[in-house]
Amino acid sequence: MFDKLLLIFDVSGFPPRWSCGLWSSLHGWTHIIADVLTALAYFAIPLTLAVFVSKRRDVPFSWLLWLFCAFIFSCGSVHLIEATIFWHPWYRLSAVAKVLTAGFSLMTVVALIKVLPEALKLPGMADVNRRLEVEVEERKRVNQTLALKNRELEDFAYIVSHDLQEPLRAISSFSGLLKGDLGENLPDVARDDLTHILNSTERMQQMVKDLLRLSRAGRDELKKELTPLQECVDDAIGQMELRIASSEARITTCGLPTMTVDRRLITQLFQNLISNAIKFTKDSQRPTIEITYDGNGVFGVKDSGIGIDPAYAKTIFNPFKRLHARDAYEGTGIGLSICRKAVERHGGRIWVESQPGSGSHFLFTLSPGSKDD
Ligand code: ADP
């Protein structure tokens, strides 16, 4: 079988083309050069096409392009063999190459005819662009509606939390008065019930206050000014002086830039992150907090605390999301939502990298437009 295959390279029985007929040098070389040049072009075209198809996987009917590659490549082979036949009379190989070329060309024609109706249905660039424009417009409209709804929701949260404060204050003070008025005359059960009411009211007041803080972080007009961020950190630390002293927390900062930001909001951001870093460190440990800037737009607040399960890395930024019981760590679950709001209002994003028991690394960016140096 293999011997028979080798027969296609057999040149016996044929003279080289130069010895066959009355070739002038000019005539022969014209054939040879034209065939070689055509062959080179026929090899280069499928090669370029192959690179294109393998890199652009989204090209429709890519299999057809591969068929084109085979067809053009076989045409090139025929031309190359034709050029070499002037010295090496492998007419049998030439015949095989021509049969292959005929096969590929027929297959290409059939494939083209089959594909034509589908290809005609493909949208043109103008059509695609028009559809894209419509989609962009639609998205703009949806975004505007969403922004409006968000605004309404924020207004609603603001009004509700603001207005809830008054009745809550009333419940709290009347419960206090009741406890004071009845004093020792109250049965133990009633006294316990009243204590529960007072505790719950206090907790609800704290939640409403925090909700109001969150709503303000999203509503209040930004007052952006050129601010050395180190000053925001210093202000945040200043507001937590007692807490930092009692926990003996060690806080280091490094290379914070000067940026155009809302000083109050960014101070609040650092304050929440530092406060959490202290709170979520075991009592037996001294909290260590590093505040960094990598020079490329990413800020970090890294602590040595209890860490966070990565499964909750996203949800902890949602309002009221807490991972611990209230008696283990106090809080309302609003601090990180305020951080996210503060960062987003400055065109940035916030995320956390952490493992339970290995501390937490909160990272955030602020819009480069806010940066000044
Ligand atoms: P709060 O501190 O009032 O609970 P936050 O919104 O600030 O609310 O935080 C949400 C939750 O994320 C916390 O209850 C805690 O489980 C987790 N968390 C936040 N910061 C840290 C931290 N530095 N280390 C470990 N857990 C944290």
User: Which atom of ligand 1 is the closest one to the Cα of 305?
Assistant: 24
| Residue 209 Cβ contacting ligand 1 at under 6 Å | no
Residue of 282, 301, 308, 329 with the most ligand 1 atoms within 8 Å of its CB, for mutation: 308
- For ligand 1, atom 4: residue with the closest CA: 333
- For ligand 1, atom 23: residue with the closest CA: 277
List the structure tokens of 216: 């303000």
Sign of the alpha-carbon dihedral angle for 46, 50, 53, 56 = negative
| Residue 335 Cβ contacting ligand 1 at under 6 Å | yes
| Residue 269 Cβ contacting ligand 1 at under 6 Å | no
Residue 151's Cα: distance from chain center in Å? 25
- The Cα–Cα gap between 25 and 31 comes to 10
The full set of domains in the chain, from first to last, is: 2-121 (no CATH), 141-219 (1.10.287), 224-365 (3.30.565.10)
| Residue 50 Cβ contacting ligand 1 at under 6 Å | no
Residue type, 139: R
- The Cα–Cα gap between 289 and 302 comes to 6
Q: Taking the chain (373 residues) in consecutive chunks of 10 residues, what is each chunk's mean pLDDT?
A: 84 92 94 97 96 90 93 97 96 95 96 93 90 96 91 83 88 88 82 89 90 86 93 96 93 93 96 95 90 94 95 94 86 93 95 94 85 46
Q: How far is the CA of 203 from the centre of ligand 1 (A)?
A: 17
pTM for this entry: 0.65
Q: How far is the CA of 276 from the centre of ligand 1 (A)?
A: 6
Q: How far is the CA of 169 from the centre of ligand 1 (A)?
A: 27
| Residue 370 Cβ contacting ligand 1 at under 6 Å | no
Q: How far is the CA of 316 from the centre of ligand 1 (A)?
A: 7
Question: What confidence score (pLDDT) does residue 373 get?
Answer: 42
